[in-house]
Structures are given as structure tokens and as C-alpha cells.
Amino acid sequence: MIAQDKFFWLTGGIAAILLVASIAGWLLGLRVKSENGRAVVDNLNARVRAWWIMVVVFAVAFLLGKVATIVMFALVSFFALREFLTLTPTRGSDHRALSLAFFILIPVQYYLIGIEWYALFSIFVPVYGFLLLPSLSALTQDAEHFLERNAKIHWGVMVTIYCISHVPALLLLDIPGYAGQNALLLFYMLLVVQMSDVLQYVFGKIFGKTKIAPVVSPSKTVEGFVGGAAGATLIGAGMWWITPFTPLQAAGMAFVTVLMGFLGGLVLSAVKRSLGAKDWGTMIKGHGGMMDRMDSVSFAAPIFFHLTRYFFTP
Amino acid sequence: MWLSKLLIGLVRILVGASPRWVGSTPSQAQRIYFANHSSHIDTVALWSALPPDLRTRTRPVAAADYWNRDAIRRYVSLKGLNVVFIERTRADHSADPLQPLVEALERGDSLIVFPEGTRHMQALPGPFKAGLFHLAARFPDVELVPVYLENLHRCMPKGTVFPVPLICTVRFGAALSRIANESKAAFLERAREAVVELA
């Protein structure tokens, strides 16, 4: 099967799943009586609708090609960083550093992916960003909470720019026997992470009893995690045919991806709480903000990228 | 107008500027929206938070000494935002600086005003100037709607050239009640409090 066919099977399959979800949500809406249940079903339907939009946006970007895909993720970083910094207390003296993060770091990081300059891409934010951002802040002579402010800004930049940029960075890997199909690998990684999130939500709602981290993330349960992780790993293994992996390798990659996604959700939930918020934003109806959807991706993407690079490229 | 659409699009990408109707709802009633002022984005942010059909009847008030200074700013102000210019410095003491605003209200337009008169660096508004009081006295039937622009003092504080994109919400409060024979100072403080309460 050529890459084009695989892509159409993939999007067709996802559309079919979403169609089932939309119909199920509609049927649940007819049956539900209690007020509490109504709220859950409304949120579920809002989430499914948002999924339709997200899948269409992703699919169109992939069809348009590499540049469109990179630009789309640059925008994802932009909106994610915007949410992160909105909740982060910064001061007027950080203004230049913040402008640099939005208008220099994001374009350069994604440009480096575009021109396939791997060496600089992999150190640009942690080295140059790390050194330049506090320098700009220090020049304004404002020492109040200096370390806290800069630590928070750097943390936000690392998660929203550096980590998320590892998703489109999959396009620059030269995997033997897989030329021209990297976009499918990108799709695969996102599919595994998001299916894991969705299945954890579903299993948690149905079987969830034992909370994993009641303080940090009250909706995460052991039952939800086990069911979601097993389900997403199986889906990942079953989708081996769009990847350069064997079915067993695909299961392993999917499992690691799911674990990292879980940790990302947990860590960013803790960050969100320490900043005093419940959701990152309101951009994606039913889900919250961009970061509520990208939290698990931001942790899974760099590890997925480096494992693929280490084991599957010469 | 393409320029209005461009300005609104830019502001939405930068700061979102989504509306929260806390104490009032969008309405065709003639209104004066008064808000805190901390950045150049404020006017477009508030304007773009209004529904499109209200936007065409709602005109921001802008300082003539700044926005009418050169051809580009004048073009953006008049064509893009349909502003009403106000003179902050009075050359002719017999002329009423509020006259252009009065004319706009008499035509039935709604207005957006920033009663602090200039941009402030803080999250909360400073003391209000008297213009709002005089307009309120002259037009007793116009609704006075307080608006709080959140976060914009962080996006583009006075003196900076590049904005920082942070999410801004535009909160519309309940219309200010009218109290007969209220003193100017009491009215202006009450109006300021109404904006502060939305913060």
C-alpha cells in the first residue's frame, strides 16, 4: 500500500470512529434525565465536536504538505505559550524576554525543522533560549522574584515550544525504507497519545474508583489508566502497518508513548494547579485550552522522536 | 471595511479578546461603554468583543493629539475604527471639547470611552476625568456600561513597541444606575468602582 492510501484508510477510520462517537453521544442525549448526567453528556458531545474540527485541521495540514504541517504546529506552540504565560505571573520587566519567546524563538525553532538542521534544532531552546531570556530580563534591573519569574518563563518555553516542536520534527528523520511516509508516523504518534487520553477518560468514567493522584488530577483513576493504556497500546500495535515498526516494536513504542503522555498530563496538571487554574484556557470547547489537549503530547513527542531516531535511523 | 477586519483579526490572534457579559447582555440600546485603559490594543479589543451588528453603531473615542497626528494614524482611526476625535489639550477655551461626542450621541451612535484619559501601567484604573459625568448628565437615557479589560496592561504597556500575546477577556458589567443630584466626584468614583468590581 502506498503512503497516500494508508493516509486515506487512516483518516477514514478516524472519521468512522468519530461518527460512532457522535451517534452514541446523540443517543445518550436522548436517554439522560438527571442534571448531572446532562452536564456529562453535553461535555462529551462538545468534546466529540471539537475532535471533528481538530481532525479536519490536522488532515488538511498533512495533505497540504510539510510546510503547512510545520506552520500548524508553530501556531499550536504560539497558542500554548500564550495560555501558559497568561496564567504565569510575570512583570513589566519581562516584556522583552516574552516578546523574544513569541516572535523569535517560535519562528526560529520551526524554521530549523523546515531546513532540517537537526543539530541546532535540538539545542536551540535549551541553550540559546535558556541563556538569552534571563539576560534580557536582567538588563531591566528588576531583581524582584527574578529567579522565579525566569524559571517559570523558561519552563513554559521548554514545554510549549521545545517539546511540542518534536511532533513535526518527526518529518526530518531519515528512516530506511520509509522515505516520504514520515507524516504517517506523526499521525501515528498523535493518534496513540490522544486515543490513550480518550480511553482513559472513557474507562475512568465507566469503571473508575481508585484515584491515582487525587490532589493533582482528580479525574485520573487506576482503572482508567490501566484500561486506557492497554487499549491505546493495542491500537498502537494494530496500526503498525503505517509505521516503520514491526507489530511488536509498535506495541513497545505505543506503550512508552502512552506512559509519557500520562506523565505529561499529570505534571502539567500539577503546574496548572500551582498557577491556580482548573483549565489552561477556553479555546477548544469541552476540552479547555490548547494545553489541556497538548499536555500529554508535549511529554510523549520528544521521547517518541528520540527512540525512533536512536533505534530506526542509521 | 477590510482594515477593520484586519485589525480585529490581528487582535484576536494576539490576545483573543473574548467577551464575558457579566452584568449586561448585548443590546441595540444606545450605550456609552467606559473601560480601564492600559494599552494601544484596548480600543480594538473592546470593539471586537462586541457583536458585529453593534460594532457598526459603536464608535471609540480617541485622543486627537495622538491619533490625528499623521496621515497613517488618521486613516487607521477613521477608516478602520470609525473613531470620534477628542481634543485633550484645549487651544480655544470657549469651545466645548465634548462637542464631537455630543454630536455622535445625538446621531444615535454608541460610544467607547476611556475616562482615565490616558494609558496607565496598572491592572486597576486610575481616577476618572469629568467628561463621562457631563455626558451622563446630558444624555440621561443612554446606558452607561462599565467594561474591564483584563491583562492588557501586561500585553503592551505604555512605552513598548512589540506586544506580548496574552489572553485578554473583555468583561461587560451591569449598566450604572442613575442617582439624582449626585455630585461629580461621587459619580466618577462610583463609575470607577464599577470597573474595578469587574476585575
Q: What is the pLDDT of residue A106?
A: 97
Contact A95 B164 (CB under 8 A): yes
What is the pLDDT at residue B120? 82
Contact B166 A102 (CB under 8 A): no
DSSP code for A104: I
Which residues in chain B are contacts of A281 at CB distance < 8 A? 167
Cβ of A102 within 8 Å of Cβ of B164? The answer is yes
Question: What pLDDT sits at residue A1?
Answer: 66
Search chain A and give the residue with CA nearest B158: A92
**Distance from the Cα of residue A230 to its chain's centroid:** 19
Residues 6+ apart with CB under 8 A from B27: B54, B143
Give the model's pLDDT for residue B61: 94
Measured CA to CA, the distance from residue B112 to residue B68 in angstroms comes to 17
Please state, in angstroms and rounded to a whole number, the distance separating the CA atoms of residues A242 and A181.
Answer: 8
C-alpha span between B127 and B196 (Å, rounded): 11
Nearest one of B133, B146, B135, B160 to B36, comparing CA atoms = B146
The ranges assigned to domains in chain A are: 1-64, 66-170, 173-314
pLDDT for residue A10: 87
Range of the domain at B193: 2-7+16-198
pLDDT (tens digit, 0 to 9) for every residue of chain A, 314 residues total?
A: 677 888 888 889 899 999 999 999 899 888 888 888 888 888 888 888 988 998 999 889 888 989 999 999 999 999 999 999 999 988 888 999 999 999 999 999 999 999 999 999 999 999 999 999 999 999 988 888 999 999 999 999 999 999 999 999 999 999 999 988 999 999 999 999 999 999 998 899 889 888 988 888 888 899 999 999 999 999 999 999 999 999 999 999 999 999 999 999 999 999 999 988 888 888 888 788 899 989 999 999 999 999 999 999 99
Interface membership of B74 toward A (CB under 8 Å): no
Of A78, A92, A102, nearest to B121 by CB-CB distance is A92
In 3D, which of A21, A6, A74 has the Cα closest to residue A244? Answer: A6
CB A251 within 8 A of CB A55: no
Cα–Cα–Cα angle for B94, B190, B171, nearest 5°?
105
Per-residue pLDDT of chain B (199 residues; tens, 9 = 90+): 789 999 999 999 999 888 999 989 999 999 999 999 988 899 999 999 999 999 999 999 998 888 888 899 999 899 889 999 998 877 777 778 899 999 999 999 999 999 998 888 888 898 999 999 999 999 999 999 999 999 888 898 888 888 899 999 999 999 999 998 899 999 999 999 999 999 8
Distances (CA, A) of A143 to A94, B14, B123: 11, 28, 21
pLDDT of residue A298: 97
Into how many domains does chain B fold? 1
Contact A102 B165 (CB under 8 A): yes
pTM of the model: 0.89
